[in-house]
Amino acid sequence: MSAAIVPTGLSTERKRRSLAAWTSDQLDLIVTPVLALILLVLLITVWSYSTFDPTTERILEPSQLARQLWQQLYVAFFSTVIVVAVAIPIGILVTRENAPRIKDTLVSFLGLGQAIPAYGLIVLFFVWLGQGAWTVIFALATFALLPVLRNTIVGLEQVDSSVIEAGKGMGMRGVQRLTKIELPLAVPVIMAGIRTATVINVGMATLAFLIGGGGLGETINAGLKLNRPTAIFIGAVLVALVALVFDFAGGLAQRYLRPKGV
Amino acid sequence: MTEPLIDLQAVTKVYPGVKEPAVKALNLAVEPGEILVLVGPSGCGKSTTLRLINRMIEPTSGRIIYEGQDVTKGDPNELRRRMGYVIQQIGLFPHRTIAENIATVPRMLKWPKKKIKERVDELLEVVSMDPSIYRDRYPSELSGGQAQRVGVARALGADPDVLLMDEPFGAIDPITRDRLQNEFLRLQADLKKTIVFVTHDIDEAVKMGDRIAILRDQSEIAQLDRPEVILTDPADEFVENFLGSGAILKTLTLRRVRDIDLDPMVTLKQPVHRSQALSEMNEANTTSAVLLDEQDRPLRWLDERALNSSSSALERSGRPITVQLQPEDTLQDALSAMLQTSSGMSVVVDGRGRYLGCCTIESLAGLLLTQGNETSSP
């Protein structure tokens, strides 16, 4: 799409467009917190009004939950950082004019990787790297690489080629075109990919307990093993809450990092 | 002849994997201050030729001389910052304001902030857009015509000597295009930039070009000359075919009403009495006259019969003058104006609306018929 096609009658057009944008943003940024609030209320209600038997009480020991929560966030955070640090540079490299034509192969290869269940991937990495949180981090980073890489590629390629051509014609160097035109215009799409990856990582970090990586999976697992539905419920709701908070943060970032005028 | 500003010497472009060159040993000199239009059928390499000048496409062989220096080697980005570049799709940066778009090259050249701001406002004025309204808007808020104006302003950003324009008005509706072309020509009269202009539209070429290069395959120059020469004396069959039928009609847009010898008519200046009018017309042995007001502005066509048959005041007899021409109008405007009147005649007035004379369809035809022999510039 080029700016040349935008018709006149600007003021009403603009109003209508911003109204549409407002409602979609509203959905995005209101539904998530509302959902999180409902879960929180549910959590507090269950916590305050149930009587815990000694086993449940031991599973839901607050200091233990806090440690698991912290581990969960740790795993999710670092796996996402690795994804961003790896996928975005690769996405940039393979979309350069003179880059070897490997991006399609790369994307389908990583697509295959995503077809392996995260569970299997964690076990594979365990065989290779042994126990611990960092094994999980690397496994999840591999698993969540695709959405960010694909969105980086798509985001950079959807930038109107005439805009890049104009920049080139005015004597902008390759790096200037990348940092001043292509990346800013690709930010919304790339952010959407990062948001997806974050939510995947927060959720999948629940599996970290499998190979001694800790996390809220421990609580859910103990609840399952010892048949304590309250523990299962509280562990699951906590995971969902963390995921929603991250999704909300991602939504905010997507909204405020989007370049003006686009 | 002055030293050319841009000189392509035996420039050839062969794309990898293609046997035939896209541009073959092209020699082209662009004089300072002229609009040189490259025109030709699609696929003739006119766009490629334009893009060879600022090395958006690197030549396979040959030399590009700009301002007396060989710029074939060296940093192409430095070269491009010295040449404005306008493309059909415009390519404004959608995430930058109009002011930031226009400031692109000055910023790269590290101009001081204050100078950039002044320059942006100046350029918006130049393309007749109010800086206070448009400075902080985004490209998505502009119409097609406005966007193209900003595109031109951006190309003029760092005041380059050269503008390269690749079908700049190609994607714009005909009415806006006509207005932008006129505006651009007016602008160019002040700026005197050296412009290389690519189009596939021969009418646009005739209108915009000081010189026109008609290109055929592989960017071979079929004819390079002033538009009136090309129109009246095409070099070969290819050029003739490309001009299409009605080339002589196209010359109507090249010449102005001031080239016509105006016919003297009997004029009657207000206040004038009916009998006085009749006697003056009798004396001049004519049956019609032009009625002027106190400021010499034409009011009505008067003729003897109308004056004799009715007794109404002079201001209400005869026919009102609705169509007027000015010396700057093209002969095409003149022809269409005259065809609107039943008499095949139109009055010509100066900028203040004062009567200068009349032009008739006969005098226009006379000018066209002598045209083949003379090639005076408009």
A133-172 pLDDT tens trace: 899 999 999 989 989 999 999 999 999 999 999 999 999 9
Total number of domains constituting chain B:
2
| Whether B94 and A185 lie within 8 Å, measured CB to CB | yes
Cα separations (Å) of A219 from A65, A216, A241? Answer: 8, 5, 15
Does B170 reach chain A within 8 Å, measured CB to CB?
A: no
* pLDDT > 90? residue B94: yes
| Whether B81 and A170 lie within 8 Å, measured CB to CB | yes
State how far the Cα of A154 lies from the Cα of A150, in Å rounded to an integer. Answer: 6
pLDDT category at A222 given cuts 50, 70, 90 is very high
What is the per-residue pLDDT across A112-122, written as a single tens digit (0 to 9) for each? 777 788 888 88
Q: Which of A1, A170, A178, A181 is best to mutate for the B interface (most B CBs within 10 A)?
A: A170
Given B219, B234, B254, the domain boundary residue is B254
In DSSP notation, B273-322 reads -HHHHHHHHHHTT-SEEEEE-TTS-EEEEEEHHHHHH--S-GGGSSEE--
Query: Do the bridges between strand B211-216 and strand B35-39 make them parallel or antiparallel, or are there none, so unpaired?
Result: parallel
State how far the Cα of A192 lies from the Cα of A28, in Å rounded to an integer. Answer: 12
Cα separations (Å) of B271 from B296, B315, B349? Answer: 11, 10, 20
B87 and B165, same domain (yes or no): yes
B91 and B167, same domain (yes or no): yes
B263 and B234, same domain (yes or no): no
Edge to edge, what strands does the sheet with B355-360 contain?
A: B324-325, B345-349, B355-360
User: Domain span at residue B40?
Assistant: 6-254
Does A15 reach chain B within 8 Å, measured CB to CB?
A: no
Chain B residues within 8 A of A186 when measuring between CB atoms: none
Radius of gyration of chain B, Cα coordinates, nearest whole angstrom: 26
Chain A nearest CA to B209, separation (Å) = 23
- Please give the pLDDT value at position B371: 57
In DSSP notation, B65-102 reads EETTEE-SSS-HHHHHHTEEEEETT----TTS-HHHHH
Decide: helix, strand or coil at residue B156: coil
Does A101 reach chain B within 8 Å, measured CB to CB?
A: no
Shortest CB distance from A181 goes to which of B56, B93, B105?
B93
Mean pLDDT of chain A: 86
B270 and B311, same domain (yes or no): yes
Q: Give the chain B residue whose CA is nearest to the CA of A12.
A: B141
Chain B nearest CA to A17, separation (Å) = 11
Chain A nearest CA to B377, separation (Å) = 34
Residue B376 lies in a domain: no
ipTM of model: 0.78
| Whether B108 and A172 lie within 8 Å, measured CB to CB | yes
Residue B377 lies in a domain: no
Chain A residues within 8 A of B76 when measuring between CB atoms: 171
pLDDT category at A26 given cuts 50, 70, 90 is low
**CATH number belonging to the domain at A23-47+67-257, selected among 1.10.3720.10, 3.30.300.30, 3.30.497.10, 1.10.10.10:** 1.10.3720.10
| Whether B94 and A3 lie within 8 Å, measured CB to CB | yes
Residues 6+ apart with CB under 8 A from B240: B234, B247
| Per-range mean pLDDT, top range of A113-122, A230-239, A253-262, B324-333 | A230-239
Residue B131 lies in a domain: yes
State how far the Cα of A86 lies from the Cα of A91, in Å rounded to an integer. Answer: 9
Short-list B248, B214, B242, CA closest to B228: B248
CB A127 within 8 A of CB A63: no
Chain A residues within 8 A of B163 when measuring between CB atoms: none
CATH no. for residue B138? 3.40.50.300
Residue B103 lies in a domain: yes
Chain B residues within 8 A of A184 when measuring between CB atoms: 95
The number of CA neighbours under 13 Å toward the Cβ of B85 is 30
B24 and B138, same domain (yes or no): yes
Does B61 reach chain A within 8 Å, measured CB to CB?
A: no
Does B15 reach chain A within 8 Å, measured CB to CB?
A: no
Q: Give the chain B residue whose CA is nearest to the CA of A185.
A: B95
State how far the Cα of B104 lies from the Cα of B257, in Å rounded to an integer. Answer: 43
- Any idea which of A54-68, A91-105, A108-122 has the lowest mean pLDDT? A108-122
B301 and B272, same domain (yes or no): yes
State how far the Cα of A30 lies from the Cα of B362, in Å rounded to an integer. Answer: 77
Residue B238 lies in a domain: yes
Q: Which of A2, A179, A183 is best to mutate for the B interface (most B CBs within 10 A)?
A: A2
H helices present in chain B, as ranges: 46-53, 76-81, 98-102, 104-108, 113-126, 131-134, 144-155, 174-191, 202-208, 227-232, 237-243, 247-250, 274-283, 304-309, 331-340, 361-370
> Residue B205 class from Cβ within 10 Å (0-12 exposed, 13-18 middle, 19+ buried)?
buried
* pLDDT > 90? residue B351: no
B216 and B78, same domain (yes or no): yes
Short-list B298, B295, B301, B304, CA closest to B274: B304
Chain A nearest CA to B80, separation (Å) = 5
* pLDDT > 70? residue B377: no
- Please give the pLDDT value at position A8: 43
| Whether A4 and B89 lie within 8 Å, measured CB to CB | yes
What is the per-residue pLDDT across B95-114, written as a single tens digit (0 to 9) for each? 999 999 999 999 999 999 99
B135 and B227, same domain (yes or no): yes
Q: Give the chain B residue whose CA is nearest to the CA of A172.
A: B77
Residue B163 lies in a domain: yes
| Whether A261 and B94 lie within 8 Å, measured CB to CB | yes
CB B318 within 8 A of CB B295: no
Shortest CB distance from B140 goes to which of A3, A172, A185?
A3
Residue bearing tokens 């070009």: B209
User: Higher confidence at residue B355 or residue B1?
Assistant: B355
Helix, strand, coil percentages for chain A (3-state, nearest 5): 80, 0, 20
B20 and B42, same domain (yes or no): yes
Chain A nearest CA to B24, separation (Å) = 23
Does A261 reach chain B within 8 Å, measured CB to CB?
A: yes
Residue B1 lies in a domain: no
pLDDT category at B162 given cuts 50, 70, 90 is very high
Which tokens go with A242? 């963390």
Q: Which residues of A12-51 are buried (b: 16+ CB within 10 A; e: fewer)?
A: eeeeeeeeeeeeeeeebeeebeeebeebeeebeeeeeeee
Chain A residues within 8 A of B152 when measuring between CB atoms: none
* DSSP letter, residue A180: I
Bridge partners (DSSP) of residue B256 are B330
Does B171 reach chain A within 8 Å, measured CB to CB?
A: yes
Which tokens go with A21? 């944008």
Chain A, chain B: beta-carbon pairs less than 8 Å apart: 104
Does B133 reach chain A within 8 Å, measured CB to CB?
A: no
Given B205, B223, B254, the domain boundary residue is B254
Task: Provide the residue type at B338 as one letter.
Answer: M
Mean pLDDT of chain B: 87
Does A4 reach chain B within 8 Å, measured CB to CB?
A: yes
CATH no. for residue B280? 3.10.580.10
B288 and B157, same domain (yes or no): no
Does A16 reach chain B within 8 Å, measured CB to CB?
A: no
Residue B212 lies in a domain: yes
- Residue B93's φ and ψ, nearest 5 degrees, are -75, 115
| Whether A166 and B85 lie within 8 Å, measured CB to CB | yes
B220 and B315, same domain (yes or no): no
State how far the Cα of B106 lies from the Cα of B160, in Å rounded to an integer. Answer: 11
Decide: helix, strand or coil at residue B182: helix
Given B254, B279, B305, the domain boundary residue is B254
B164 and B86, same domain (yes or no): yes
- Helices A103-115 and A62-94 sit at what angle, rounded to 10 degrees? 160
Short-list B112, B180, B111, B191, CA closest to B150: B180
Domain regions of chain A by residue span: 23-47+67-257
